[in-house]
Amino acid sequence: MTTQELIEQIHKKRSFLCIGLDVDLHKIPKYLLEEDDPIFTFNKAIIDSTHHLCVAYKPNTAFYEAYGLKGWKALEKTIKYLNNNHPEIFTIADAKRGDIGNTSSMYAKAFFEDLAFDSVTVAPYMGKDSVEPFLAFKDKHTIMLALTSNQGAFDFQTKQVEGQEFYKQVLKTSKTWENSQNLMYVVGATKAEYLAEIRQIIPDSFLLVPGVGAQGGNLQEVCKYGMNKNVGLLINSSRGIIYASNQENYAEAAAHKAEELQQQMAIELKRHFE
Amino acid sequence: MTTQELIEQIHKKRSFLCIGLDVDLHKIPKYLLEEDDPIFTFNKAIIDSTHHLCVAYKPNTAFYEAYGLKGWKALEKTIKYLNNNHPEIFTIADAKRGDIGNTSSMYAKAFFEDLAFDSVTVAPYMGKDSVEPFLAFKDKHTIMLALTSNQGAFDFQTKQVEGQEFYKQVLKTSKTWENSQNLMYVVGATKAEYLAEIRQIIPDSFLLVPGVGAQGGNLQEVCKYGMNKNVGLLINSSRGIIYASNQENYAEAAAHKAEELQQQMAIELKRHFE
């Protein structure tokens, strides 16, 4: 999917919501465990009830790998269901991969070709040749960790490197890589004030912003500092939406939560674009 | 597996060789592609011919994920084969994972419980709460990226942070984490001279050292600067061993290459321990 197609979807649906499909079998309705594939059954119901309210879905691979072969199969079925039924949806494999060049190429093949995701998240620690194999794919997007929303972000990401925070060094350096136009960045919403400075470094890039729900970020603040002329934001919510209820009404309850966020997003889009 | 058991194996086999099982279907003997599971068939033959010469095997997950469900199944069969037939072997899932706390727990479950690896490699960028869920597992080992062997290592890892290289900051900080005794570190052999400084920070930890073969490191240098009273080194070779031949004699050829390294290692162990 091209960036332009993503932007069009955002304006059409008046939403820049990404729903995280992080399925934990301990948290979904108990009666689903009797299904042949409870993870996919749950995802399908969530997708069916929310796809008109969001522009992206983001399964985190950890939740699938934890269930071994069955989990990987559920991931395959989920991405196939999305690609077949909702090709307008932007799909994100939240995998946080990164390895030496020839190995990163195998990961890129796994997520862009075999599973056919539109994008994958990657970690920057190993530098240029660990990320460029992902960037080489046309109309695919590589979402690099910059400033994450967890407490551990302060261990290294905000340390001073050559007179600025390390994550800014990561942002600046990444702009020099080949096909850097295919980069997006993960920036946690728990630090909305940082977004203004981040936008000075990467004015045009899309940011994937976790942490607006469970992790405490504020949507209006994030939009104030982070929105650009292309919108430039995908706001992720996972647990806050998919675990809104663990009863039979779980898909409806998820849609209700998603709609609350979508409506706030519509207000923000109106504020910035009308 | 305990660290002590690993050390005993090293002295018994006079080897601290780790063999990387990075199976690329374009590089294995062509006739294997007719097999039902060419990846596992290849791995089994390599393991059967080399297990007496090494103390560890390290499948890199990228090479398995690139083949989707079939790949994941081959990974499961490989680790099961190792655990059932060679329980004395230290197994490493080279996965370079790392995510926010509850998500890292899912990865730890995937590799330590579901697949039953002895260890997994992790990336440090997201800090303490992204690594501690792995460290919580008793007698399991978490091998964190410190100084990698690729060119991109110079993008961030060697940048100055608070008066020292970033990777040293990573080493020092990680020592303060809970259950840090379960940490090992990835340190590339292309920079053997760095090992002396690294040993000042982490004198007792095991180091997983890639890059002695294809990436150009020198075994004697690595041992001079990196070996400690517990040996403290696992030297990895992947392509140099498993792709020694792409003919019918591939397993034999791999054993021959592994033996060359093992014999050099026996000399180093003698030099340091007798």
B202-261 pLDDT per residue, tens: 999 999 999 776 555 589 999 999 999 999 999 999 999 999 999 999 999 999 999 999
Residue with structure tokens 């706001």? A235
Decide: residue B251, CB within 10 A, 0-12 exposed, 13-18 middle, 19+ buried: buried
Q: Which residues contact B171 (CB under 8 A, 6 or more apart)?
A: B146, B185, B198, B201, B202
CA A253 distance to own-chain centroid: 21
Top residue of B61, B115, B144, B156 to mutate, by most chain A CBs within 10 Å, is B156
Compute CA distances A118 → A31, A133, A143, A227, B189, whole Å: 32, 15, 10, 22, 36
* pLDDT in the model for residue B189: 79
**A186, pLDDT greater than 70:** yes
Q: Which residues pair with A147 in a beta bridge?
A: A187
Which of these CATH numbers, 3.20.20.70, 3.40.50.620, 3.30.2350.10, 2.40.50.140, describes B3-273?
3.20.20.70
- What mean pLDDT comes out for the span B262-269? 96
What's the mean per-residue pLDDT of chain B? 95
Give residue-wise pLDDT tens across range A33-61. Answer: 999 999 999 999 999 999 999 999 999 99
Q: Say whether B127 and A72 touch across the interface (CB within 8 A).
A: no
**B193, pLDDT greater than 60:** yes
Catalytic residue of the set B77, B96, B128, B224:
B96
Cβ proximity of A131 and A144 under 8 Å = yes
* pLDDT in the model for residue B217: 59
* Of A205-214, B112-121, B174-183, the least confident: A205-214
Decide: residue A86, CB within 10 A, 0-12 exposed, 13-18 middle, 19+ buried: middle
A273 pLDDT tier (thresholds 50, 70, 90)? very high
A2 pLDDT tier (thresholds 50, 70, 90)? very high
Closest-CA residue of chain A to B59: A103
Closest-CA residue of chain B to A116: B68
* A and B: number of Cβ contacts within 8 A: 183
Sheet holding A160-161, edge to edge: A164-165, A160-161, B160-161, B164-165
Q: Domain limits of chain B?
A: 3-273
B130 interaction partners in chain A (CB closer than 8 Å): 150, 152
Would you state the structure tokens that stand for residue B156, as one six-digit string? 């961030």
Nearest to B94 by CA among B129, B119, B127, B112: B119
Distance from CA of A12 to the nearest CA of B (A): 32
Q: How far apart are CA B229 and CA B231, in angstroms?
A: 5
* pLDDT in the model for residue B7: 98
Cβ proximity of A56 and A120 under 8 Å = no
Q: How many residues does chain A have?
A: 274
Nearest to B120 by CA among B190, B59, B177, B35: B59
Name the helix (H) or strand (E) containing A231. Answer: none
Q: Which residues pair with A57 in a beta bridge?
A: A19, A91
A216 pLDDT tier (thresholds 50, 70, 90)? low
B156 interaction partners in chain A (CB closer than 8 Å): 124-125, 127, 166, 169-170, 173
Would you state the structure tokens that stand for residue A188, as one six-digit string? 């946690």
Q: Say whether B96 and A100 touch across the interface (CB within 8 A).
A: no
Quick check: ipTM above 0.90? Answer: yes
Percent of chain A residues topping a pLDDT of 90: 92
Nearest to B268 by CA among B237, B222, B230: B222
A77 is catalytic: no
Closest-CA residue of chain A to B100: A150
Q: How far apart are CA B52 and CA B86, in angstroms?
A: 10
Distance from CA of A139 to the nearest CA of B (A): 19
DSSP code at position A223:
H
Backbone angles phi, psi at A94, to 5 degrees: -85, 90
Q: How far apart are CA B135 and CA B138, in angstroms?
A: 8
A158 pLDDT tier (thresholds 50, 70, 90)? very high
Strands (E), chain B: 17-20, 56-58, 90-97, 119-122, 141-147, 160-161, 164-165, 183-187, 207-209, 233-237
* pLDDT in the model for residue B40: 98
* Of A228-242, B165-179, B209-223, the least confident: B209-223
* Of A183-197, B47-61, B144-158, B161-175, the least confident: A183-197
Name the helix (H) or strand (E) containing B201. Answer: helix B194-201
Q: Say whether B157 and A98 touch across the interface (CB within 8 A).
A: no
Give residue-wise pLDDT tens across range A107-145. Answer: 999 999 999 999 999 999 999 999 999 999 999 999 999
Nearest to B223 by CA among B274, B269, B259, B167: B269
Give residue-wise pLDDT tens across range B131-171. Answer: 999 999 999 999 999 999 899 999 999 999 988 999 999 99
Decide: residue A91, CB within 10 A, 0-12 exposed, 13-18 middle, 19+ buried: buried
